[in-house]
Structure 1
Amino acid sequence: MVRLRRQLSPARLNWKSEADRLGYHYYQNADGSFAWREDVRYEFDDSALGLLQKVAETLHQLCLEVVDEAVLRPNGLDEFYIPRKVQNVVRDSWLRHDPFLIGRFDLAWCKGQPKLIEYNADTPATLPESTRMQTVWHEQLGKSHAHAPLQAQSLVDYLVSLRQADRISDTIHIVPYPDNIEDITHALYYQQWAKQAGLHAIHCELKDLEITHQGKLLHKGQIVRSMIRMYPWELMFRDSGARHLQDCECTFLNPPWTALLSNKALLPALWKRYPGHPNLLAAGYSLEDVTRARTGPYVEKPIHARGGENVRVLKNGKIICAEVGTYGSYPKIYQEFADHRIDGVTASVGAWIIGERFSGLTMRESHDPIVRHTSPIVPHLIRKKSRLAKIFGW
Structure 2
Amino acid sequence: MRREHATPREGWEKIIEGQGLAFHRSVQATHLPRPYWDESVHYVFTMEQVLDLEAQVEELHRMCLAVVEHVIAERRFADFALPEWTWQEITHSWERRDPHVYGRFDLRYDGVSPPKLLEYNADTPTSLLESSVVQWYWLQDRFPGDDQWNSIHERLIDRWRELVLPTGPTHFAWTNMDETGEEAMTVAYLQETADQAGLKTVAIAMEDIGWDPLNRRFVDTGGRVLRSAFKLYPWEWMLADRFGEHAVRHAASTTWIEPLWKALLSNKALLALLWELYPGHPNLLPAYLDGPRELTSYIVKPLLGREGASMQIVSPDHQARTEGSYGAEGFVYQGFEALPSFEGQRPVLGAWMVADESAGLGIRETAGLITDDTSSFVPHRIEL
* TM-score when normalising by structure 1: 0.91
Rounded to whole Å, the distance in 2 between the matches of 1:150 and 1:332 is: 35
> Any gaps of 5 or more consecutive residues in structure 1?
385-394
Which residue does 1:172 correspond to in 2?
170
1:12 paired to 2:9? yes
Q: Percent identity?
A: 32
Contact kept, 8 Å, 2:362 with 2:377, in 1: the verdict is yes
Write the letter of the residue equivalent to 1:247.
H
Which residue does 1:247 correspond to in 2?
250
SS in 2 for 1:7: strand
- Give the direction of change, closer, same or farther, for the CA distance of 1:319–1:144 in structure 2 (3 Å limit): closer
| Structure 1 residues 68-83: aligned runs within 5 Å | 68-74=69-75, 76-83=76-83
1:364 paired to 2:364? yes
Runs of 4+ with deviation above 6 angstroms: none
Contact kept, 8 Å, 1:5 with 1:342, in 2: the verdict is no
Task: Give the superposition deviation at 1:308.
Answer: 0.3
1:217 paired to 2:218? yes
Rounded to whole Å, the distance in 2 between the matches of 1:284 and 1:32 is: 33
1:331 paired to 2:334? no
Please, which of 253, 256, 261 is the counterpart of residue 257 of structure 1?
261
Which residue does 1:55 correspond to in 2?
56
SS in 2 for 1:43: strand
1:345 paired to 2:345? yes
Question: Deviations for 1:35-82, whole angstroms, at most 9, x for unmatched residues?
Answer: 2111110011001110111011100000000001111223x1111111
Which residue does 1:236 correspond to in 2?
238
SS in 2 for 1:338: coil
Contact kept, 8 Å, 2:218 with 2:226, in 1: the verdict is yes
| Structure 1 residues 1-394: aligned runs within 5 Å | 4-28=1-25, 29=27, 30-33=30-33, 34-74=35-75, 76-110=76-110, 111-149=112-150, 151-162=152-163, 166-180=164-178, 181-212=181-212, 213-219=214-220, 220-245=222-247, 246-248=249-251, 249-289=253-293, 292=294, 294-295=295-296, 297-315=297-315, 320-343=319-342, 344-384=344-384
Contact kept, 8 Å, 1:150 with 1:362, in 2: the verdict is no
Rounded to whole Å, the distance in 2 between the matches of 1:303 and 1:319 is: 22
Contact kept, 8 Å, 1:86 with 1:242, in 2: the verdict is no
SS in 2 for 1:116: strand
Rounded to whole Å, the distance in 1 between the matches of 2:146 and 2:132 is: 17
* TM-score when normalising by structure 2: 0.93
Which residue does 1:388 correspond to in 2?
none
Contact kept, 8 Å, 1:160 with 1:197, in 2: the verdict is yes
Which residue does 1:389 correspond to in 2?
none
- Give the direction of change, closer, same or farther, for the CA distance of 1:152–1:170 in structure 2 (3 Å limit): farther
> Any gaps of 5 or more consecutive residues in structure 2?
none
Task: Give the superposition deviation at 1:198.
Answer: 0.6
Rounded to whole Å, the distance in 2 between the matches of 1:82 and 1:329 is: 12
Task: Give the superposition deviation at 1:328.
Answer: 4.1
Write the letter of the residue equivalent to 1:61.
R
Rounded to whole Å, the distance in 2 between the matches of 1:122 and 1:152 is: 18
